[in-house]
C-alpha cells in the first residue's frame, strides 16, 4: 500500500487546521479535507465569546482567516473532496469523492453534525423554520417568536443573539442547563428570554413552514407557537465515518488518553473526540496535541529529520487549468446572481445586479441561492451556473 500523504486531516475547522499546521511545520506532507470550505462550523458565527480568554470576544472570520493562512504558509494542501470513509489500520485509507487516498496517519477533526431533534418531518422543515445558525438566520425571525433547544453554553449564546431580533425566545432545556453562571445572568436579564427546564419537544407543527412545536414538561404538554426553531441537541460525532474505532453514545470517537486512539495511526481532535469540552480553545489545544502526536508517531527516532520541500508548492495544479477551460459557452449577456441566503444578501445582490444590468443593457439576470445560509452550495447549482453564465455575482459574508 502506498501512502499519498504522511498525514491526512479530516475536517478543517479550528482543531483540524491547527493539527495540520503543526504537522506541516514539522516537515510532514499534510492534506486537510473539508468538503465545504476551511473553517468548520465557526464559519457560521460572527463573534466568539470567551476567546481567547474568558470574558473576551473574537471575530470568528478573523480567527479562521489566520488559521487558514498559517496552515497554508506551513505547506498544508487543502482538499475540498468529501471524505466518505476512514479505514483505520496500520496503513489508513480514506475513501473520498475523488477516489481512495492513503496516508501514514490520520487526524479525525470533523466536529459534530448539526443539531437535530429526531422528530418526524424535521428534515423537511430545515431551512423553513428550523435552523442551527442564529447568526445566519436569526434576522429572518425579526419580530417573531422562536424556540431554542439545548443545555450548553452554545445554546445560551444563540438564544441571546436571537433575543436581539425576535420578540420572544423560549429556551427549552431537556434536563437542567449546563451553561455558565455568567450566561445565567445574561439570560435572566433579557426580558425576551424564557427558560423552561425539563422540557422536551415531542412534535413539530407546520405544513411546509414551521408554525409551532409541542412541548412536554413534567407531566403536561402544550402547544408553543413559534416561527423559528434552533435545536442544539442530537449532534452526532463521526463514528459512522470511521471504521474500527470505539465510539460513545453520541458517535464521538473514544480515545485512550488525550488525542490517541486504540489504533496508533489515528488521532482525534476537537468536538469529534468523546469527552471534548466543545470550546474553541480546547479545539485548538486538541489540534496542537494531535499534530504533535502524529509527528512523534511518524518520527520516532527524534529530531526534525529531513524536510522534503514540494517543488510544485504554489504552482497552479494541472487539473485547475483544465477546469478553467471547462466553463460554458455563455457570452457576456449571460449574467446571474448567487445569494448565500443570509439576511439582506439577496437584496444587496439584486440592487447591485440591477446597476450592472442597466450599465451593460442586459436583457435579464439569472438567479440562484443556497437552500439556507448555513448549508453548502448545491453542486448541481454550481455546475449549472458555471455552464450557463459568463458572470456570476456572489454574496459572501453577512
Partner 1 sequence: MELEKRGAVAPLLVTSTFLPLVEAQAKARRVTPRIVVVPHPVGGLNEAELAERIEAAAGALLPLADEARGSA
Positions in the binding site for partner 1 (CB under 8 A): 37-39, 43, 46, 59, 61-62, 64-69, 71-72, 78, 80, 139, 142, 165, 316-317, 320, 323-328, 332, 338, 342-345, 347-349, 351-352, 355-356, 359-360, 377, 382, 385-386, 389-398
- Of the pair 216, 348, the CB lying nearest partner 1 is at 348
- Of the pair 100, 164, the CB lying nearest partner 1 is at 164
CB of 138 to partner 1, least distance (A): 8
Give Cα 9 distance to the centre of its chain: 15
User: Residues 253, 258, 259, 261: what is their CA dihedral angle, to the nearest 10 degrees?
Assistant: -60
- Of the pair 77, 274, the CB lying nearest partner 1 is at 77
Q: How far apart are CA 12 and CA 338, in angstroms?
A: 25
- Of the pair 33, 179, the CB lying nearest partner 1 is at 33
- Of the pair 247, 386, the CB lying nearest partner 1 is at 386
Give Cα 45 distance to the centre of its chain: 10
Among 226, 258, 255, CA closest to 238: 255
CB of 36 to partner 1, least distance (A): 10
- Of the pair 108, 385, the CB lying nearest partner 1 is at 385
Cell of 84: 466518505
Give Cα 306 distance to the centre of its chain: 35
CB of 263 to partner 1, least distance (A): 28
CB of 97 to partner 1, least distance (A): 14
User: Residues 107, 114, 271, 248: what is their CA dihedral angle, to the nearest 10 degrees?
Assistant: -90
Q: How far apart are CA 234 and CA 249, in angstroms?
A: 11
CB of 202 to partner 1, least distance (A): 32
Q: How far apart are CA 196 and CA 184, in angstroms?
A: 13
232 Cβ contact partners less than 8 Å away, ≥ 6 residues apart: 115, 132, 148, 149, 150, 152, 154, 155, 158
Cell of 322: 483544465
CB of 19 to partner 1, least distance (A): 16
Backbone angles phi, psi at 66, to 5 degrees: -65, -45
Contact 393, 52 (CB under 8 A): no
CB of 172 to partner 1, least distance (A): 25
CB of 170 to partner 1, least distance (A): 22
CB of 109 to partner 1, least distance (A): 16
Cell of 293: 502526536
- Of the pair 216, 394, the CB lying nearest partner 1 is at 394
Contact 156, 187 (CB under 8 A): yes
CB of 323 to partner 1, least distance (A): 5
Q: How far apart are CA 386 and CA 6, in angstroms?
A: 35
- Of the pair 197, 386, the CB lying nearest partner 1 is at 386
Compute CA distances 302 → 105, 246, 286, whole Å. Answer: 17, 30, 22
What is residue 371's DSSP assignment? S
- Of the pair 298, 356, the CB lying nearest partner 1 is at 356
- Of the pair 164, 223, the CB lying nearest partner 1 is at 164
DSSP for 282-334, please give it: HHHHHHHHHHHHHHHHH-TT-S--PPPP-TTTTSPPHHHHHHHT------TT-
Amino acid at each position: 500500500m502506498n501512502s499519498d500523504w504522511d498525514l491526512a486531516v479530516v475536517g478543517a475547522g479550528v482543531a483540524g487546521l491547527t493539527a495540520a499546521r503543526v504537522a506541516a511545520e514539522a516537515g510532514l506532507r499534510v492534506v486537510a479535507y473539508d468538503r465545504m470550505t476551511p473553517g468548520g462550523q465557526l464559519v457560521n458565527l460572527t463573534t466568539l465569546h470567551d476567546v481567547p480568554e474568558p470574558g473576551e470576544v473574537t471575530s470568528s472570520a478573523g480567527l479562521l482567516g489566520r488559521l487558514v493562512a498559517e496552515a497554508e504558509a506551513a505547506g498544508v494542501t487543502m482538499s475540498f473532496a468529501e471524505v466518505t470513509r476512514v479505514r483505520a489500520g496500520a496503513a489508513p485509507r480514506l475513501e473520498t469523492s475523488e477516489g481512495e487516498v492513503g496516508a501514514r496517519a490520520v487526524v479525525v477533526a470533523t466536529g459534530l453534525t448539526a443539531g437535530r431533534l429526531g422528530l418526524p418531518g424535521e428534515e423537511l422543515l430545515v431551512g423553513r423554520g428550523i435552523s442551527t445558525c442564529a447568526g445566519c438566520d436569526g434576522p429572518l425571525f425579526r419580530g417573531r417568536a422562536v424556540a431554542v433547544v439545548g443545555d450548553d453554553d452554545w445554546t445560551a449564546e444563540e438564544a441571546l443573539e436571537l433575543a436581539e431580533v425576535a420578540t420572544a425566545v423560549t429556551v427549552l432545556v431537556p434536563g437542567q442547563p449546563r451553561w455558565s453562571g455568567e450566561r445565567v445572568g445574561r439570560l435572566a436579564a433579557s426580558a425576551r428570554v424564557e427558560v423552561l427546564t425539563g422540557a422536551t419537544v415531542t412534535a413539530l407543527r407546520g405544513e411546509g413552514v414551521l408554525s409551532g412545536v409541542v412541548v412536554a414538561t413534567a407531566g403536561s404538554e402544550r402547544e408553543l407557537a413559534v416561527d423559528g426553531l434552533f435545536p442544539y441537541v442530537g449532534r452526532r460525532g463521526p463514528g459512522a465515518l470511521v471504521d474500527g474505532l470505539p465510539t460513545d453514545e453520541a458517535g464521538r470517537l473514544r480515545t485512550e488518553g488525550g488525542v490517541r486512539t486504540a489504533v496508533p495511526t489515528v488521532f482525534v481532535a476537537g468536538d469529534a473526540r468523546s469527552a471534548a469540552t466543545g470550546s474553541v480553545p480546547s479545539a485548538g489545544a486538541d489540534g496542537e496535541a494531535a499534530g504533535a502526536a502524529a509527528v512523534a508517531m511518524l518520527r520516532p527516532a527524534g529530531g526534525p529529520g529531513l524536510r522534503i520541500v514540494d517543488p510544485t508548492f504554489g504552482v497552479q495544479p494541472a487539473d485547475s487549468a483544465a477546469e478553467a477551460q471547462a466553463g460554458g459557452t455563455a457570452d457576456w449577456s449571460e449574467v446571474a446572481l448567487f445569494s448565500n441566503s443570509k439576511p439582506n444578501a439577496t437584496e444587496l445582490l439584486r440592487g447591485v445586479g440591477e446597476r450592472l444590468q442597466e450599465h451593460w443593457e442586459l436583457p435579464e439576470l439569472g438567479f440562484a441561492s443556497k437552500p439556507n445560509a448555513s448549508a453548502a452550495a448545491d453542486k448541481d447549482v454550481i455546475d449549472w451556473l458555471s455552464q450557463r453564465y459568463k458572470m456570476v455575482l456572489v454574496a459572501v459574508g453577512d
